[in-house]
Amino acid sequence: MTERTISAADLNLLQRERAAADRQYNDALTALDQALTALPDIPHPPPALDATQIDALQQLAPVDISAQDDTPGPGGGWRGWASRFVWSILGPPLARQAGVNQALISHLTQNQTPQQEMTRAISSTLVLLADELQALRSFQSKLIIWAQQVTPYVDTKDREVTGLVRRVNENPVRLIERTVGLVQQRQLAMKRELERLLAASSATDTDSPTPGGAAPAAATADSKAAGSPPPVSGSLDAFKYVGFEQAFRGTEADIGHRLEGYCARFDGASDVLDVGCGRGEFLGTLRERGVTGRGLDANPEMVAICRERGLDVVEGGAVEYLESLPDRSLGGLIATQVVEHFRADYLLRFLELAYHKLRPDSTIILETLNVDSWSAFFGPYLRDITHEQPLPPETLRFLLEASGFQRLELQFSSPADDAAKLETVALPNSCPPELAVLVETFNTNVDKVNTLLFTFLDYAAIGQKL
């Protein structure tokens, strides 16, 4: 079964594009929020016309003398003559002033009603303007809230569609997985039966004397290959390898923290086997989560350390121990930084036994160094002289699949130090197109080199027995 995977360089490019898109969206949202203006101060309406002054003017205005016949009549004596003389001088100006007063009062009276209507219109307009500005402010606020909800809305739609697709495909996919697993299990069963028949035939031939009385050389070589233990500690003394782990792999606290991410895979399980358990970091974490487990290690010093901590750990080789267990007796299996110590034939036998010893719906996790990373290969891998062979991620994943495991995935961990990575060149704000193309090409090549040199140092091949 072939699965298309995305390279680390492609993943880095997608992450940068996503970060740039998020940054642009946040900048636009910030600009939209800053464009939200405060409400201006609405001016007060003009004061109403004071009509009391017009009434006062009407009361103070003299009577129109031009409409009355108050001219002194002919009279005798000097008084009559004086009255006619004075009236001839004062009468015309008083008449004109009375006309002006009446015209002014008439004008003010006529404009009283329009002035009052204008005041009411201005007041109503200012109220309407204030309401419209408040409505605009409310609309802008709701627009910002809507913009903030766009991303969560799209994300929930994506999750909903993904869930529906998985719901539709769940049963057919599981049926296919189980079918493929059963076919591979049948192949492995036939292989085991063939090996049993060959072993029985070899034993029969051994019982029959050969010329010279010696057993066939081929049979002796096969028996040695099948039963030889993995050189986990090689020619190193056991206590020296404990010191090597402490010096180069990390302290117990460091290893325990790194392995915590695998614990959730075994929640609810029981009888989990930790192959190559070392100092028991993972077993201790399982115990804290209420998961029963047992450790296995070929190094007696490691076994002694674990037993001092009250952990259930046995000493022995991985294949030999699995061969001693009944089929379907394990609820999970994990081996961290172990399989790179196995020879090819030993690793294949280990995976085959692991499949038969695990119960259905059990998980297997095999963590090892990511030799696709040059930092990991030329550093931790070559540093340990007990390593037998490098295992690229796709190789180990294929071996799990060929052994019958399903739902395979690769989980990368221990990212390289960012400070050691090559740095890209920032593109100036304004530059010629030729320079922009050159900088982009350079940055792309830097990402490729960083992927080869400084990608994840470790990975885990994870599968399930269905």
Query: What's the rounded mean pLDDT across residues 255-263?
Result: 84
| pLDDT (0 to 100) of residue 238 | 47
The DSSP-derived string for 181-201 is HHHHHHHHHHHHHHHHHHHHH
- Whether the CB-CB separation of 39 and 133 falls below 8 Å is answered with yes
**pLDDT value at 69 more than 90:** no
- φ, ψ for residue 8, nearest 5 deg: -65, -35
Helix (H, G, I), strand (E, B) or coil at 73: coil
H helices within 76-149, ranges in order? 77-148
Q: Which residue has the tokens 């049926």?
A: 175
What gap in Å lies between CA 443 and CA 437, rounded to an integer?
Answer: 10
**pLDDT value at 60 more than 70:** no
| pLDDT (0 to 100) of residue 224 | 33
CA angle 315, 321, 323 (to 5 degrees): 165
- Whether the CB-CB separation of 369 and 414 falls below 8 Å is answered with no
Question: What pTM value is reported for the model?
Answer: 0.51
H helices within 149-237, ranges in order? 150-207, 217-227
* Tokens, residue 224: 């040695």
| pLDDT (0 to 100) of residue 74 | 59
| pLDDT (0 to 100) of residue 371 | 93
pLDDT per residue as tens digits for the range 201-241: 777 666 554 444 433 333 333 333 333 344 444 434 444 44
For 368, half-sphere exposure in the C-beta direction (CA atoms, 13 angstrom radius) is 25
Percent of the chain with pLDDT strictly greater than 90: 29
Q: Which residue has the higher pLDDT, 64 or 135?
A: 135
Helix axes 8-34, 433-454, angle to 10 degrees: 130
For 322, the enclosing helix (H) or strand (E) is helix 318-323
CA angle 65, 108, 91 (to 5 degrees): 15
| pLDDT (0 to 100) of residue 458 | 93
pLDDT per residue as tens digits for the range 407-451: 999 999 888 877 778 888 887 777 788 788 888 888 889 888 888
* Tokens, residue 211: 């010329």
| pLDDT (0 to 100) of residue 168 | 53
Query: What's the rounded mean pLDDT across residues 266-293?
Result: 93
Query: What mean pLDDT, rounded, does the chain reach?
Result: 77
**pLDDT value at 153 more than 80:** no
Q: Would you say the C-alpha torsion 343, 348, 349, 351 has a positive or negative sign? A: positive
Query: What's the rounded mean pLDDT across residues 188-201?
Result: 71
CATH fold for the domain made of 226-417+459-465? Rossmann fold (3.40.50)
| pLDDT (0 to 100) of residue 312 | 96
CA angle 430, 432, 437 (to 5 degrees): 105
pLDDT band per the 50, 70, 90 thresholds, residue 193 = low
| pLDDT (0 to 100) of residue 306 | 92
Measure Cα distances from 136 to 38, 39, 125, 126, 432 in Å: 11, 9, 16, 15, 44
User: SS in 3 state form for 408-423?
Assistant: EEEEEECCCCHHHCCC
Query: What are 446-452's contacts with CB under 8 Å, separation 24+?
Result: 446/422, 447/9, 447/12, 447/13, 448/9, 449/422, 450/12, 450/421, 450/422, 451/7, 451/8, 451/9, 451/12, 452/373, 452/374
- Whether the CB-CB separation of 391 and 368 falls below 8 Å is answered with yes
Helix (H, G, I), strand (E, B) or coil at 69: coil
What gap in Å lies between CA 2 and CA 13, rounded to an integer?
Answer: 24
**pLDDT value at 286 more than 90:** yes
Q: Which residue has the higher pLDDT, 167 or 41?
A: 41
pLDDT per residue as tens digits for the range 10-38: 667 777 777 777 777 777 777 777 777 77
Q: Would you say the C-alpha torsion 321, 322, 325, 330 has a positive or negative sign? A: positive
Domain residue limits, the chain: 52-61+77-148, 226-417+459-465
